[in-house]
Structure 1
Amino acid sequence: MKLTDIAAATTGARADLAAQLLRWQDDVLALSRDLHAHPKVAFGEVRAADGITTLLEAGGFTIERGTAGLSTAFIATAGSGALVIALCVEYDALPGIGHACGHNLIAGASVAAALALAPLADRLGITIKAIGTPAEEHGGGKVLMLERGAFDGVHLAMMVHPVQEGQTANPAGTSAQAVGRYRARFHGQAAHAAAAPHLAINAADAAVLSQVAVGLLRQQIPDDHRIALFVREAGHVTNIIPDTAVVDFECRAFTLADYEALVPRVHRCFEGAALATGTTLEITTT
């Protein structure tokens, strides 16, 4: 079936699609609210994956659980048409914040679309795949699934992302980007802050200097580049100069080439901080 034929068939099926959305409306709303009430972070979204697949199964989908070796990933399939359309379902939350990014709404939107389309899939000449992609916030579930073949044979993949009503956002923060996340760990020498501060190599100072260096670097990078970081660890008590500090950071750019040019510049900010303070530095991907 050609795309023009699908468009024509869809036009004739709009009333049926609307009826299906109404049929599943209460179930999808209940699902979304349950996800919001029970947030789980990367690769721990067991309740979410179970709830979503149970609902899709009730809507006639064939379910594959544990897709790509990820226990909370899945592929739900309906229809047998030549054009394969994937609806990405996200459902992980942020640590300590919950569903601030609205992944419960993303899940609801994709599941509602899938349930509405399923009875019409063969009529439209399409195959619908609702693909559950865990660890979207941190962990790269989609990347792992793509690399392991979960999206093989898919012609089109889509999803929607909610925004606050009336919100204005910088396009540089909302479009597809190359992104990488890292952990910088500084190692120094602990000492008593009152009795022997001169014997210390202060890892917390290295964390501070790295933040200052990154802040200054932001003046010399393109407007559509992004660097974000936070200090995960930099001491535990006031009277001991810390020997360890940990800073998590990420780099973003619109193209892979720009991203690959940005990363070493950011790394040098941490290397300079280590040099200035006499600490040693390890940077790993997260």
Structure 2
Amino acid sequence: MEKLQVGRATLTWLRGGVTHMDGGAMFGVVPKALWSKKYPVNDKNQIELRTDPILLQIDGKNLLIDSGIGIGKFTDKQKRNYGVLEESFIEQSLIELGLTVADIDGVLMTHMHFDHACGLTVKEGDTYQSVFKNAVIYTTETEWAEMRNPNIRSVNTYWKENWEAIKEQVHPFSKQMEILDGLRIIHTGGHSDGHAIVYFQDGDDSFLHMADIMPTHAHQNKLWALAYDDYPVTSVHEKEKWMATGYANKTWYTFYHDAFYRAIKFNEDGEKMDSVEKQEYTES
């Protein structure tokens, strides 16, 4: 498992599953001739997207950013449509680190789309149960409201089985919330109305988790928004703002979906200074 130390925070990428989504949808109006130079595409026009939560260990707390795609949540048809070739190994990843799901103190949900929220619950018998029973689950008020009452466009991505069992654990917030000293989850909108990013600052060290406003390294261009975005103009403006902030501070940008990079640090001109590349998994 790849690790990154940012100030007093230790980041470890867990094994949350893999999907393959339509490349055209992931890059919106950007021509394939441009985006395919930056990110590989298969013969079905799909790109590989990991769904790997980040374990944040800060001040004795164990936190997750998002939850992976879980186990047993997809029908065979959905697996084909979403290119699900691997489901979650979160419990095994935690065991390798000397932890269990009971040791997770909080889950920072950037948004509640199925590819981020399926790992929150698991089916036991005829019902779904919370996976991280001791965790506070943070999400924006806007996202939590739409999760429970999706509209005609979002109904296919906000699943009842992902929220019913965890509703007593959810701590909704409005604009932003400081989880620990220097660690904030911030409402941006854009990809979904309630989408949020995670920003950590500790002296001169910092990381930004842009979630699906910048799902991969190939989405660095502030104008490259997803066709999946409910509010693409908001995504563009928020990316412009936070890329400028990150460049100025030489911030690490971390990824949940990227199949090639876990994190990249850019300089003031947006050029790559350093990176953590995803390693191939080896079976133990």
More strand by share: 2
TM-score by length of 1: 0.24
Q: Rg larger in 1 or in 2?
A: 1
Instruction: Choose between structure 1 and 2: higher helix proportion.
Output: 1
Q: TM-score, normalised by structure 2?
A: 0.25
